[in-house]
Amino acid sequence: MERKDIVKAHGNSVTLIGTALKTGDKASDFTVLDGNLKEIRLKDFDGKIKIISVTPSLDTPVCDLQARRFNQEAAKLPESVVVLNISMDLPFAISRFCTNAGIDKVKALSDHRDASFGNAYGVLIKELRLLARSIFIIDRDNTIRYIEIVPELTEHPDYDRALKEVNKLLGA
């Protein structure tokens, strides 16, 4: 499935590939890789609230800041919440970035192998083979409670709104 006019990269429209999701949908499982090339799946976090922060590439300024911001926020959240950062970066580059940036609360993961996440969540950019900047909040029962696909790849997501959704799920 291809969708246009949802995301722009530097003002130019790009095509998103994959399933168009909406709040209330069941979250699809996916397989990504951690920095040690271990397969990680959504089901590995069953019973937790999941914040999935999606970045095009951690080697760019906005993505760097997005990962750092969620790392700071993750330090304040209870153990019942997990924060995942998913990008198309190679696992080795992700490990290097996390070490250099002090990212220790966010689980940074790579979708580079087969774009399992990008296709399942409808955020794979056809022209660039990168993921569109987005945030997905998934509850303990794996229902999607919040989606933000940022309309311009070079802009930040609405961190405060996403965290407000997490706090609702926590009953705060």
- Catalytic positions, please? 63
Burial of 26: CB neighbours in 10 Å, binned 0-12, 13-18, 19+: exposed
Return the H-helix or E-strand segment holding 76.
Answer: none
Beta-bridge partner residues of 131:
124
SS3 labels along 93-144: HHHHHHHHHCCCCCEEEECCCCCHHHHHHCCEECCCCEECCEEEEECCCCEE
The single residue listed with the structure tokens 């933000």 is 148
Residues shown for the chain:
172
C-alpha to C-alpha distance for 165 and 145, rounded to whole angstroms? 8
Secondary structure class of 171 (helix, strand, coil) = coil
